[in-house]
Amino acid sequence: MKFRDVNAFEGSTGYTLLPFRFRRLPFDRTRALVTNLAGDWLICAHADLGDLIKGTLDSEHPLIKDALGRFLVAKDPSRSALTPLISQMRTRKAYLAQGPKLHIFVVSLRCHHTCTYCQVSRRPLGDSAFDMASDAGSLAVERLFEWPGKELTVEFQGGEPLLHFDRVKMLTEAIVHRNRTEGRQLRFVIASTLHDLTDDQLAFMREHRFALSTSLDGPDWLHNANRPRPEKDSHRRTIEGIERGRRALGDDAVSALTTLTRKSLDHPTAIIDEYRTRGFNAISLRPLSPYGFALKTAGRNGYAMADFLRFYRTALDHLVTLNHSGFPMVETYGQMLLSQLITPFSHGYVDLRSPTGAGLGAMVYDFDGRVYPSDEARMLAAMGDASFSLGSVHDSVQDWLASPAMARIMEAGVAESLPTCSDCAYVPLCGADPVDHYARQKDPVGHRPTSSFCARQMGLFDLFIEQWETGSGAMRAMLEDWAVARPDVREAA
């Protein structure tokens, strides 16, 4: 049988196909998820979708009305009739016009922990050569204000930034001073173990309304196994730091996230219960990344993405129980995925945007003045591969954006143009991560059938679609609550 001419597929239904993508549902292969160019979607019988595409669907079929409403087909394909779709597409990509919002200052690589999965290639406590110098910091502040964004989140990282708090103070004061004429909306965050916090440090942070982000891997036996200190008391010190931070800055100012090792995967409910015990209403269940010491200890700590997804499914069930019992708790990455799925807005989180967030959503100013488009690029450089270094703080922002490294990122940074991504139903909601693919597969474009990034994104999107469609009333209510609450992008960074 030969294919007929394409005009023969017009059918008698009088509708025109608009560009869309679809995915057969993994949990029900007789149905398909169909997404338009802006990420609006519906689910229908796969057979009906086939008829819609071939132009043989009965004109009274309810799918036609749904498809018209979701801009999968149109009666009138003129521009004026499609203006709402164009507007939706712009809304979905609204972050493009803003420039990087997240600016990470690595004030020191020194740290008092010896975490087995450390991704930042920490240095010993006495190694002050790995502290950010004053001139590098000053130049980084100048570069910060070369970006156009009205909202700037300045995040201090390490190592342990509290070990070089003088630099944190100097940079904060310089930024605040400069902002008197710039008028940006500033937000300060410190990513820290919160160990050995002093009253002076807390007073400074309170003055500038800092948010604190720390690591809490679970109950003490798990946290201490993952994040050893010589004194074997990391968990106790972390809890003390959290409590002191809350007293000084307010409960909402302190957030925590997990890093999941293989040991962690056996204990989803214990990890969530620890967060419940400590009064957190948000948890970030974050899988390992292939950087730094995490790569060296992959044999002991690592796991397949399928294992992480099984863990996440169990965690989600436990979170439903917890939420239904009256204690609200969101999983922050899931919340961002759901807000993409259920609302027309995007939050611009680096893993969920296309073009990629590397260099366009975030910037990293390293202790030595080198500049990177993402934390992962910085971690790669610490491992000896500076492929994605954009330059230094002595260069201009224009120089960084015109650099070979940035060109390499952009060649692989638009998911809609990447093989397999370009046809994926989730691509309007998903992102590209050239640095991650380079780190794992030595190719910024990557091979999607073996991509851990893709496995995670698709696995979680599939899970949420499945739960949205087939989950209990309590599950659906929780997912709705997550979707419409404003995600805190910082917490899942």
Partner 1 sequence: MATIEADFDLGLYPASAVMAAAHHFSGTHKASVTTTGNATRVLLKARTDDAPDVTADLSDAVIDETLRAMVRARTQTLHDVLVRAAFDPIVAP
In whole angstroms, how far apart are CA 471 and each of 102, 316, 332, 419? 35, 11, 20, 32
Q: Of 79 and 486, which CB lies nearer to partner 1 in the complex structure?
A: 79
| Nearest-approach distance from CB 147 to partner 1, in angstroms | 11
| Residue 123 Cβ vs partner 1, minimum distance, rounded to whole Å | 38
Contacts of residue 353, defined as CB under 8 A and 6 or more positions apart, other chains included, come to: 95, 346, 360, 361, 431
Residue 49 as a binder of partner 1 (CB under 8 A): the answer is yes
What is the rounded CA–CA span in Å between residue 107 and residue 122? 12
The SS3 of residue 488 is coil
* CB neighbourhood size of 89 (10 A): 17
Q: Which of 8, 45, 81, 86 binds partner 1 (CB under 8 A)?
A: 86
Q: How far apart are CA 267 and CA 238, in angstroms?
A: 20
Name the residue nearer to partner 1 (CB basis): 53 or 477: 53
Shortest separation between residue 404's beta carbon and partner 1, angstroms: 24
Q: Which helix (H) or strand (E) holds 191?
A: strand 185-191
Contacts (CB under 8 A) with partner 1, residues 206-225? none
In terms of Cα–Cα distance, which of 313, 272, 452, 340 is closest to 95? 340
- The smaller minimum CB distance to partner 1, of residues 1 and 230, is found at 1
Q: How far apart are CA 52 and CA 74, in angstroms?
A: 12
Quote the radius of gyration of the chain (alpha carbons, Å): 24
- Which of 61, 66, 68, 89 binds partner 1 (CB under 8 A)? It is 89
Q: Which of 33, 44, 85, 493 binds partner 1 (CB under 8 A)?
A: 85
Report the site for partner 1 in 54-73 (rule: CB under 8 A).
54
Smallest gap from Cβ 237 to partner 1, in A, equals: 43
Nearest distance in Å: CB 146, partner 1: 14
HSE-up of residue 240 (Cα within 13 Å, Cβ side): 9
Distance in angstroms (rounded) separating the CA atoms of residues 28 and 336: 25
Between 17 and 170, whose beta carbon lies closer to partner 1?
17
Binders in 414-473 for partner 1, by CB under 8 A: 419-420, 423, 447, 449-450
List the interface residues with partner 1, window 131-160 (CB under 8 A): 148
Q: How far, in Å, CA of 427 to CA of 416, rounded?
A: 6
d(CA 48, CA 22): 12
Query: Measured from the CB atom, is 169 or 448 closer to partner 1?
Result: 448
Q: At what angle do helices 62-69 and 46-54 cross, to 10 degrees?
A: 80
For residues 147 and 204, which CB has a smaller minimum distance to partner 1 in the complex? Answer: 147
State which residue, 34 or 379, has the beta carbon closest to partner 1. 34
Closest separation between CB of residue 455 and partner 1, Å?
9
Residue identified by tokens 């899942």 is: 492
The least distance separating partner 1 from the CB of residue 419, rounded to whole angstroms, comes to 8
Q: Closest distance between partner 1 and the C-beta of residue 277, in Å?
A: 39
Least distance (Å) from partner 1 to the CB of residue 427? 12
The answer to the question of residue 185 lying near partner 1 (CB under 8 A) is no
Q: Is 190 helix (H, G, I), strand (E, B) or coil?
A: strand
Q: In angstroms, give the least distance from the CB of 209 to partner 1.
A: 25
Contact flag: residue 309 with partner 1 (CB under 8 A): no
Which residues in the 8-37 window bind partner 1 by CB under 8 A?
Answer: 9, 16-22, 24, 29, 37
Q: Kindly state the helix (H) or strand (E) to which residue 274 belongs, with its residue range.
A: helix 268-277
Q: What is the closest distance, in whole angstroms, from the C-beta atom of residue 23 to partner 1 in the complex?
A: 8
* Stretch of 46-54, 293-301, 370-378, 437-445 contacting partner 1, by CB under 8 A: 46-54
Q: Which residue shows structure tokens 């366009």?
A: 360
Choose between 128 and 450: whose C-beta lies nearer to partner 1. 450
The nearer residue to partner 1, 18 or 342, going by C-beta atoms, is: 18
Residues 6+ apart with CB under 8 A from 93: 346
Total of chain residues touching partner 1, rule CB under 8 A: 37
CB 65 within 8 A of CB 456: no
- 170 or 305: whose CB is closer to partner 1? 305
Nearer to partner 1, 74 or 253 (CB): 74
* CB-count exposure of residue 114 (10 Å: 0-12, 13-18, 19+): middle
Residue 98 or 281 with smaller CB distance to partner 1: 98
Q: Using alpha carbons, select from 211, 231, 227 the residue that is nearest to residue 219.
A: 227
Contact set with partner 1 (CB under 8 A): 1-3, 6, 9, 16-22, 24, 29, 37, 49-50, 53-54, 77, 79, 82, 85-86, 89-90, 93, 96-98, 148, 419-420, 423, 447, 449-450
